[in-house]
C-alpha cells in the first residue's frame, strides 16, 4: 500500500468499482505509486479531486458487433471504446482486435494512453478501443464485414475533433482501410477520423515504421545519456513479429545491433547470423503465416515452441514488442543472469511489476512503454496535423520530427524523475512528466457539475 492516505483512498475506490480487472488495476497502481511525491508536494491535486477523476473514464461505450461469415453464419462480438481523458486534446488511441480483449484490457490501455499522449508534447487526449474478434484465420471479406459492422456503431461516437482511433494488435492497414471506408460512407465526410491510413487516402509517411523506430531512438538516447553506450555491436532479442517488432528490428539493425530472436504467439526463432527481416516480413505481412516457417527458409535458424523462453536467449538489449505481462520475474532474472544491459518496452505493459523491480534493482536501464513506444501515437498526431492542413510531409520530415520527439520524451522523463528524488527511474519519470500536463489542464478547466 501507499504512504499517502489520499492514494490509498483513491486506489481502494478503483478496486471497488472495477472488481477483478487485473490489468487495469496493475496500470493504475503503478501510476499512483509514481505520483506519491507529486501528490505530497501539490495539495491542490487532492483538493480538486484530480486523481479520483483521472482514474475514471470520461465515457465508456460497449456495443454488439454482429457480422456474417463466408458461409452465411451469424457471429456476435463485443466492441469497446473507452474515452478516458480529453483534458489536453481529442481522445486518441488504437483499436485492438484479439480474443483476449475485455474491459480490463481496454481500460488499462486507455489509462496508460493518457500519460503517453501527454508525453509526446502534442495535443491528444487518451482513449482505446477494440473487440474480442480474432482476425486470424478469417478471409479478407469476413474481416471487411466485421470492420464495417464495428464502424457502423463506432462512427456515432468518434470524429476528427472528438476521438481519433488507430491501429494496435490485430488492427493494421487492412482493417483501418475497411473501417475508414465505412465511416466515410456513413458520414459523407473525408476527414482525419482514423490514423494509420493508407498513403493514397490521407495516411502519413513513416507512421508504419514509427513505433519501432521511435522505440530504438528512445533506447539509443537512454544508452547514450545514462551509460555512454549505443546499439552498436549489441545483440538484441525482440519478442513479437508484428508492426512494432518488425520496425524495431529494422532500426536496431540500422543502428548497428544484431537481432538474433523474434517470436509470435506460438513460439520463437533464433538465428545467430542475425534475423533476415525480408523473410519475416514475407511470412508475417504478406502471407499472414506463422513465424516457425522461417526455419524452412533460412539455414541454421532454430524454432522453439512457446513464447516465454525467448527471454533465455542471451542478449545485451531486450525489446518486448508483443503483449502485456510477457516478461515475468523469472524471465527478467534469466535476462539479468545473461548480462542484459537495457530493456525497451515496445509493447504496452509487457513487464510485470516484479519484472520491472528486478531490472531496476539489478541496475538494468529500463525504458517503460508509455515513454518508449510513444512514437506511434506521436506520428499519428502528426498524421492528424497533415490531414488538417490537407498537406503531407516527406518521410524524412516526419522521421526527423519523430526522432526529436523521442529524444525529448527521454529527457523529460529523466528530468522529472530527478526533480522528485528518483534519479534514473524512468518509470516514475514518465508517469510524473505525463501526469503534470494533464493535471494542469484539468485544474484549469474546472469541475463540471
Answer whether 264's CB lies under 8 Å from 136's CB.
no
Give the C-alpha separation, 268 to 263, whole Å: 4
Nearer to ligand 2IT, 280 or 374 (CB): 374
- Interface with ligand 2IT (CB under 6 A): 92-94, 116, 166, 168, 195, 348, 376-377, 380
Stretch of residues binding ligand NDP (CB under 6 A), selected from 197-205, 275-283, 331-339, 342-350: 342-350
Stretch of residues binding ligand NDP (CB under 6 A), selected from 3-11, 174-182, 184-192, 320-328: 320-328
Q: Which helix (H) or strand (E) holds 337?
A: helix 329-337
Answer whether 167's CB lies under 8 Å from 197's CB.
no
Q: Which does 242 bind (CB under 5 to 8 A by kind): ligand NDP, ligand 2IT, none?
A: ligand NDP
Answer whether 245's CB lies under 8 Å from 212's CB.
yes
Among positions 104, 117, 373, 386, the unique one binding ligand NDP when judged by CB under 6 A: 373
Q: Which helix (H) or strand (E) holds 305?
A: strand 302-305
Residues contacting residue 341 through CB under 8 Å, at least 6 positions apart? 223, 227, 229, 234, 316, 317, 364, 365
Compose the 162-201 pattern: x for residues touching ligand NDP by CB under 6 A, - for all others. Answer: -----xxxx-x-----------------------------
For residue 351, what are the β-bridge partners?
327
Could you identify the residue written with the cell 527478467? 332
Provide the Cα torsion 308, 209, 277, 410; round to 10°: -50
By CB under 6 A, tell whether 211 contacts ligand NDP: yes
Give the C-alpha separation, 106 to 82, whole Å: 7
Name the active-site residue from 92, 107, 116, 128.
128
Instruction: Give the nearest distance from C-beta 128 to ligand 2IT in angstroms.
Output: 7
Q: Which does 93 bind (CB under 5 to 8 A by kind): ligand NDP, ligand 2IT, none?
A: ligand 2IT
3-class DSSP assignment, residue 266: coil
Among positions 102, 230, 265, 276, the unique one binding ligand NDP when judged by CB under 6 A: 265
In this structure, what are the phi and psi dihedrals at residue 312, rounded to the nearest 5 degrees? -95, -5
Q: Which does 292 bind (CB under 5 to 8 A by kind): ligand NDP, ligand 2IT, none?
A: none
Give the C-alpha separation, 174 to 145, whole Å: 12
Nearer to ligand NDP, 294 or 420 (CB): 294
Nearer to ligand NDP, 167 or 177 (CB): 167
C-alpha cell at 216: 530504438
Among positions 32, 106, 310, 347, the unique one binding ligand NDP when judged by CB under 6 A: 347
Nearer to ligand NDP, 7 or 371 (CB): 371
Instruction: Give the nearest distance from C-beta 121 to ligand 2IT in angstroms.
Output: 15
Q: Is 128 a catalytic residue?
A: yes
Q: Which does 244 bind (CB under 5 to 8 A by kind): ligand 2IT, ligand NDP, none?
A: ligand NDP
Percentage helix, strand, coil for the chain under 3-state DSSP, each rounded to 5: 50, 15, 30
Q: For residue 157, with 0-12 CB atoms within 10 Å meaning exposed, 13-18 middle and 19 or more buried, which class applies?
A: middle
Q: Which does 131 bind (CB under 5 to 8 A by kind): ligand NDP, ligand 2IT, none?
A: none
> Minimal CA–CA distance to 29: which of 1, 54, 57, 5?
1
C-alpha cell at 162: 472528438
> Minimal CA–CA distance to 405: which of 208, 204, 117?
117
Q: Which does 387 bind (CB under 5 to 8 A by kind): ligand 2IT, ligand NDP, none?
A: none
Q: For residue 329, with 0-12 CB atoms within 10 Å meaning exposed, 13-18 middle and 19 or more buried, which class applies?
A: middle
Nearer to ligand NDP, 229 or 271 (CB): 271
C-alpha cell at 115: 500519460
Instruction: Give the nearest distance from C-beta 168 to ligand 2IT in angstroms.
Output: 4
For residue 268, what are the β-bridge partners?
263, 304
Measured in residues, the chain has a length of 449
Q: Which does 127 bind (CB under 5 to 8 A by kind): ligand NDP, ligand 2IT, none?
A: none
Nearer to ligand NDP, 168 or 220 (CB): 168
Give the C-alpha separation, 395 to 215, whole Å: 17
Number of shown-chain residues binding ligand NDP (CB under 6 A): 26
By CB under 6 A, tell whether 382 contacts ligand NDP: no
Could you identify the residue written with the cell 523469472? 330
Nearer to ligand NDP, 39 or 90 (CB): 90
Instruction: Give the nearest distance from C-beta 168 to ligand NDP in angstroms.
Output: 5
Nearer to ligand NDP, 60 or 265 (CB): 265
The alpha carbon of 375 is separated from its chain's Cα centroid by a whole number of angstroms, namely 9
**106-125: contacts with ligand NDP (CB under 6 A):** none
Stretch of residues binding ligand NDP (CB under 6 A), selected from 10-18, 47-55, 242-250, 253-261: 242-250
Catalytically active residues are: 128
Q: Which residues would be at the binding site for ligand NDP (CB under 6 A)?
A: 98, 100, 167-170, 172, 211, 240-245, 264-266, 307, 321-323, 346-348, 373, 376
Amino acid at each position: 500500500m501507499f504512504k499517502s492516505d489520499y492514494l490509498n483512498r483513491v486506489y481502494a475506490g478503483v478496486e471497488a468499482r472495477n472488481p477483478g480487472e487485473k490489468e487495469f488495476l496493475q496500470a493504475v497502481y503503478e501510476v499512483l505509486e509514481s505520483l506519491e511525491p507529486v501528490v505530497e508536494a501539490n495539495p491542490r491535486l487532492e483538493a480538486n479531486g484530480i486523481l479520483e477523476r483521472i482514474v475514471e473514464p470520461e465515457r465508456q461505450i460497449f456495443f454488439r458487433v454482429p457480422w456474417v461469415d463466408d458461409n452465411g453464419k451469424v457471429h456476435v462480438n463485443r466492441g469497446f471504446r473507452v474515452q478516458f481523458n480529453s483534458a489536453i486534446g481529442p481522445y486518441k488511441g488504437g483499436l485492438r482486435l484479439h480474443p483476449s480483449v475485455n474491459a480490463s484490457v481496454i481500460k488499462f490501455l486507455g489509462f496508460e494512453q493518457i500519460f503517453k499522449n501527454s508525453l509526446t508534447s502534442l495535443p491528444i487526449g487518451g482513449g482505446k478501443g477494440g473487440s474480442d474478434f480474432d482476425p486470424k484465420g478469417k478471409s479478407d471479406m469476413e474481416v471487411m464485414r466485421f470492420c464495417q459492422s464495428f464502424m457502423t456503431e463506432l462512427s456515432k461516437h468518434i470524429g476528427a475533433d472528438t476521438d481519433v482511433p488507430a491501429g494496435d494488435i490485430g488492427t493494421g492497414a487492412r482493417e483501418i482501410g475497411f473501417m475508414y471506408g465505412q465511416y466515410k460512407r456513413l458520414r459523407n465526410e473525408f476527414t482525419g477520423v482514423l490514423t494509420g491510413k493508407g498513403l493514397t487516402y490521407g495516411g502519413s509517411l513513416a507512421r508504419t515504421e514509427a513505433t519501432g523506430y521511435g522505440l530504438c531512438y528512445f533506447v539509443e538516447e537512454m544508452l547514450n545519456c545514462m551509460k555512454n553506450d549505443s546499439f552498436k555491436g549489441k545483440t538484441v532479442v525482440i519478442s513479437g513479429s508484428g508492426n512494432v517488432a518488425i520496425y524495431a528490428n529494422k532500426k536496431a539493425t540500422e543502428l548497428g545491433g544484431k537481432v538474433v530472436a523474434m517470436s509470435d504467439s506460438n513460439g520463437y526463432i533464433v538465428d545467430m547470423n542475425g534475423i533476415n527481416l525480408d523473410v519475416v516480413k514475407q511470412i508475417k505481412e504478406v502471407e499472414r503465416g506463422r513465424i516457425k516457417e522461417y526455419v524452412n527458409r533460412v539455414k541454421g535458424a532454430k524454432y522453439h515452441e512457446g513464447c516465454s523462453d525467448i527471454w533465455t536467449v542471451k542478449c545485451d538489449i531486450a525489446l518486448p514488442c508483443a503483449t502485456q505481462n510477457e516478461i515475468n520475474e523469472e524471465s527478467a532474472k534469466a535476462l539479468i543472469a545473461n548480462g542484459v544491459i537495457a530493456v525497451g518496452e515496445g509493447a504496452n505493459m509487457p513487464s510485470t511489476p516484479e519484472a520491472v523491480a528486478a531490472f531496476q534493482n539489478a541496475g538494468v536501464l529500463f525504458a517503460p512503454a508509455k515513454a518508449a513506444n510513444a512514437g506511434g501515437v506521436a506520428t499519428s498526431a502528426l498524421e492528424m496535423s497533415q490531414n488538417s492542413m490537407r498537406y503531407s510531409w516527406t518521410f524524412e520530415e516526419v522521421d526527423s520530427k519523430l526522432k526529436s520527439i523521442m529524444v525529448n520524451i527521454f529527457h523529460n522523463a529523466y528530468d522529472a524523475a530527478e526533480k522528485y528524488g528518483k534519479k534514473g527511474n524512468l518509470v516514475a519519470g514518465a508517469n510524473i512528466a505525463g501526469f503534470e500536463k494533464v493535471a494542469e489542464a484539468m485544474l484549469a478547466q474546472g469541475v463540471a457539475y
